[in-house]
Amino acid sequence: MESGEPVTTAPLAARLTAPRGPLFFPVTAYGPDGELDLDVYRAHVRQGVEDGAAAVFACCGTGEFHALTPEEFQDCVRTAVEATAGRVPVVAGAGYGTALAVRYARLAAAAGADGLLAMPPYLVVAGEEGLLRHYREVAAATPLPVVVYQRDNVVLTPRAVVELARTDGIIGLKDGLGDLDLMQRIVSAVRGESGGDFLYFNGLPTAEQTQLAYRGLGVTLYSSAAFCFAPAVAVAFHRALATGDDGTAHRLLDGFYRPFTELRAQGRGYAVSLVKAGVRLRGLDVGEVRPPLHEPSGDHVKQLADVIARGHALLEEAR
């Protein structure tokens, strides 16, 4: 979406159904003292919108939701809303136990967010009945539409997702498991039993790496961490998928996304800290990650710079 395009009052689900660019999950910026740097965060979000993001998912996994106080969370969401100025929707994370998830949902609503990404409850491995109650309470807490994030300790059966799809305020499921058999059964069950539209997102750490497979299931939405630090590459890949240009998609997968995925696998927490290092390589000092995450090694940052350079070279070769 171009900067300056008029604001739309369309519901969030309609705005996400056929996005014209990647879904942007900004990192959270900290200053040298480790405190929030909202000016840098604002610049990061604004640049993402100008680079073609279709939506901003603020304070989610890449944005270190786990490391933010409620006050910091609300400040970040409010800043993202101000930076986007209505040009694209802002979806905020909400998580932990039910009481805190409801609190974060209300803070996000007060900050002007357009929707919520309901992340897995903290620590517990809950049964399906408890999970359904949890997400229903989060959905009922505000008027904001909710996308449920399936990963780690939240593995939902097709029947449970049918129940979620029938719940007022829940509009979609983001999958961070990568079990394509389960996803196919979920899509089929919801299509056959709940009626209406329901959104699905590929939410794996480098979603582009698996998006051709997800596309085969009819899942066209995906999160793009790479957009944070290589937006031109991410936009080119998104366009290739949208136009059926599998040749370009394969070249970027082979030359950029696969090497990045392999590098990301070299350290725990690199799905966040390596992305943040990439944003710094681009010239925006968003600071380091907060503990318990740790910074990538100097050699890994150098390898990341080489991967980014190769991605840009591939775009040049295609011209």
User: Catalytic residue positions?
Assistant: 149, 174
- Looking at this protein, which amino acid is placed at residue 165? A
Provide the 8-state DSSP code for 148.
E
DSSP bridge pairs for 23: 55, 223
- Tell me the C-alpha to C-alpha distance, in Å, between residue 20 and each of 15, 27, 31, 172, 249: 10, 21, 33, 19, 16
- The answer to whether 145 and 110 have CB atoms below 8 angstroms apart is no
Q: What angle do CA 210, 216, 219 make, to 5 degrees?
A: 75
Give me the half-sphere count of Cα atoms (radius 13 Å) on the Cβ side of residue 245.
Answer: 13
Rounded-to-integer distance, Cα 281 and Cα 305, Å: 7
- The answer to whether 271 and 304 have CB atoms below 8 angstroms apart is no
- Looking at this protein, which amino acid is placed at residue 278? G
Category of 244 on φ-ψ map: left (φ > 0), alpha (ψ -120 to 50) or beta: left
Question: In 3D, which of 57, 152, 74 has the Cα closest to residue 110?
Answer: 74
Exposure class string for 263-301: b at 16+ Cβ within 10 A, else e: bbeebeebbbbbbbbbbebeebebbbbbeebebbeeebb
Number of helices and strands in the chain (H, E): 13, 8
- The answer to whether 65 and 73 have CB atoms below 8 angstroms apart is yes
Give the CA dihedral 31, 32, 35, 38, nearest 10 degrees: -10
